[in-house]
Amino acid sequence: MSPIIPHRDGSILYLPDALKRYPTAGVVLLCRVSEPAQVANGSLARQRDLEIREHRNLGCRLQAIIAGQERGKLSEMRPHLRRAIQLAKTHSAILSTRDLTRLIRAEAFDHCQNWHAQPTREEIKRLLELADGVPLATRLPPKMSAAELHYQATVGGMNKRPGRKSAIESDPMLAMVILELFEWGEDTSLRKIAECCGVTLRMVQRFIDKWKGYQSPTNAYRRTMRDKAKHITEREVSPGDP
């Protein structure tokens, strides 16, 4: 086994840059949602399916996959994050996740009043101290805002489709806020989301149903990857795994 890679320059890396800096390192993948309801509604499975595929497309050698439900603030216990850090140390690997929000939520974050809050420098410093030299990386640029991330991943694709658009789809910022609250927020009640955003419950229900249809796997490869990942909550990956 290679020695543990020390990374102590005080930064969270963009995954393509991390792979160039540590070309022989494997990757431990961390997927996270905040609420049990986000496990039940398929959000965790969708995230895991997508990240397995996208990380492998980047050439990552996945050593382990951790997927689970926990709040993102460091004031929480964060057992999945701690387990992922330990596995990354064991494998001398990079710890990677979709974006910065999967690694850490700002202590000022509030799912309704302050959903776009970014971690402070001190909070990032605490995260890096917790990592204890394990390189932390994000597949999407770590400085992208939550709104930018959601527009790239969801609303932008939906708005490319032909046909009449709903009032929510026609307002990109409103759509991004609703998807942010539904997928990553601390309260996934559609009624609560409707109240926060000043729209009707029915409008939110229709928009989320339409978005789920857009996100659904449509080809054999994506269905296969979804089925392989479906029951994984923690897994160490051998070289022969697909």
User: What is the rounded average pLDDT of the residues 18-24?
Assistant: 95
Which pLDDT value is given to residue 68?
Answer: 95
- Going from N- to C-terminal start, the domains of the chain cover 13-141+219-236, 146-215
User: What is the maximum alpha-carbon separation in the chain?
Assistant: 56
Among left, alpha and beta (phi > 0; psi -120 to 50; other), residue 32 is: beta
Report pTM: 0.69
Radius of gyration of the chain (CA): 18
CA 153 vs CA 25, 109, 114, 143, 189: distances in Å = 27, 21, 21, 16, 22
Q: Answer yes or no: are the C-beta atoms of 103 and 136 closer than 8 Å.
A: yes
CATH 3.40.50 fits 13-141+219-236, yes or no: yes
Q: Of the ranges 12-21, 65-74, 94-103, 147-156, which one carries the lowest mean pLDDT score?
A: 147-156
118 vs 41, higher pLDDT: 118
Q: Answer yes or no: are the C-beta atoms of 103 and 81 closer than 8 Å.
A: yes
CA 12/CA 125 separation, integer angstroms: 10
Rounded to 5 degrees, what are φ and ψ at 37? -60, -30
User: What is the rounded average pLDDT of the residues 117-129?
Assistant: 93
Q: What 3-state DSSP class applies to 63?
A: strand
User: What is the rounded average pLDDT of the residues 123-151?
Assistant: 85
pLDDT above 60: residue 38 = yes
DSSP 114: B
User: What is the rounded average pLDDT of the residues 215-237?
Assistant: 46
Q: Is the four-CA dihedral 219, 225, 228, 233 of positive or negative sign? A: negative
Which pLDDT value is given to residue 232?
Answer: 42
Q: Is the four-CA dihedral 91, 94, 97, 101 of positive or negative sign? A: positive
pLDDT above 50: residue 2 = no
82 vs 47, higher pLDDT: 82
- Residues 6 or more apart whose CB falls under 8 angstroms from that of 154 comprise 175, 176, 179, 211, 214, 215
pLDDT above 90: residue 156 = no
Q: What 3-state DSSP class applies to 184?
A: helix
- The pLDDT-based confidence of 174 (bands split at 50, 70, 90) is confident
Residue where the block lists tokens 């978005």: 211
95 vs 173, higher pLDDT: 95
Q: Answer yes or no: are the C-beta atoms of 191 and 201 closer than 8 Å.
A: yes
DSSP 237: P
- The pLDDT-based confidence of 28 (bands split at 50, 70, 90) is very high
- The pLDDT-based confidence of 194 (bands split at 50, 70, 90) is confident
200-224 tens-digit pLDDT: 898 988 888 877 765 554 434 334 4
Q: In what order do the strands lie in the sheet with 94-97?
A: 13-14, 136-138, 94-97, 27-33, 62-69, 234-236
User: What is the rounded average pLDDT of the residues 88-94?
Assistant: 96
User: What is the rounded average pLDDT of the residues 139-156?
Assistant: 67
